[in-house]
Amino acid sequence: MNTVYLNGQFLPEAQALISPLDRGFTYGDGVYEVIRAYNGKPFLQDEHFGRLADCCAKMRIGAYLTPLHEVPARLLEANGLTGDALIYLQITRGTAPRSHVFPPPETHPTIFGLAWQFTPNPAWAQGMITILEPDVRWSRCDIKVTSLIPNSFSAQRAKELGAHEGLFVRDGVVQEATLSNFFAVSGGEVRTAPLSNYILPGITRAVVLDLCREHGIPFRETPVFATELHQAEEAFLTSTVYDVAPIKSVEGRALPAEHPVTDRIVSLFREVVRRECR
């Protein structure tokens, strides 16, 4: 049985019990992180913990994160995960009588961690099939909250239509996707939505922008409008789960089969992974 982490203890999953009055259950009141491991080594862990700290602060959840830094490696070890894996960490506002206002400040957050073996879908590297979705999410998409109903609906609709991802369009702008950030390439320039309350500040997104900066690949953080997509030479998605994955089609319209800029970024990204998780 899986060994999981709950509130300071490593224990078998079946013994990890949480109250039904946990705010994560009654209000979806929590934040989370997903960290990738390659060769049994967590990738960009500090960056993920940095974002987790920011999200806790924005949510006014007072969790002490320092002791959690050992959790990913310990979960990998306890579960014999020596190859590719994903680590999930979730922090909720804790258990309290149901009330819309926050529980008393002495309430302990609930902290849960899980790791599992992960094999990327080989179809992703061949090109993502995407659909456009109206972005009906709330206006704080910069916080990685566990309330993921619109993302889940869009992911499900994409699946039912034979697609891999839904691209969220708000005010005509392709903001991001259900679990990834969105990039387009036009005129040789890499473009992605600027950081705002409408997108998650993706860790993979930041690495890709750093790589562009470092290797002289022209880029701009500027809105990409859905109406511009037919002119895009290339488009790709970035996520802890996908790494960097080319987009093959949007709403049934194929993008050019050759995507040299995306290919270059994919190989630069792989070099970073090799360096960090040898």
* Chain contacts with ligand PDD (rule: CB under 6 A): 34, 176, 179-181, 200, 202-205, 238-241
Distance CA 224, CA 175 (A): 8
Distance CA 72, CA 64 (A): 16
Residue 92 or residue 204: which is nearer to ligand PDD going by CB?
A: 204
Going by C-alpha positions, the residue among 35, 33, 37, 34 that lies closest to residue 273 is 37
Length of the chain: 278
Shortest distance, position 261 Cβ to ligand PDD, whole Å: 19
Residue 55 or residue 96: which is nearer to ligand PDD going by CB?
A: 55
Residue 200 or residue 224: which is nearer to ligand PDD going by CB?
A: 200
Residues in Cβ contact with 50 at an 8 Å cutoff, skipping those fewer than 6 apart: none
Q: List % helix, strand, coil for the chain (3-state, nearest 5).
A: 30, 30, 35
DSSP 113-128: EEEEE----HHHHH-E
Residue 95 or residue 180: which is nearer to ligand PDD going by CB?
A: 180
**What token pair was written down for 82?**
């020596």
Q: Which residues are catalytic?
A: 144
Shortest distance, position 212 Cβ to ligand PDD, whole Å: 15
Q: Where are the beta strands (DSSP E) in the chain?
A: 3-6, 9-12, 30-38, 41-42, 85-92, 110-117, 128-134, 165-170, 173-177, 181-186, 189-192, 219-221, 234-239, 243-250, 253-254
Shortest distance, position 204 Cβ to ligand PDD, whole Å: 3
Cα torsion 114, 116, 119, 123: sign: negative
Shortest distance, position 246 Cβ to ligand PDD, whole Å: 16
Note whether 247 and 253 are within 8 A (CB). no
**What token pair was written down for 199?**
């997108």
Shortest distance, position 90 Cβ to ligand PDD, whole Å: 11
Shortest distance, position 241 Cβ to ligand PDD, whole Å: 5
Cα dihedral 260, 265, 270, 275 in deg (nearest 10): 140
Residue 203 or residue 261: which is nearer to ligand PDD going by CB?
A: 203
Residue 179 or residue 217: which is nearer to ligand PDD going by CB?
A: 179
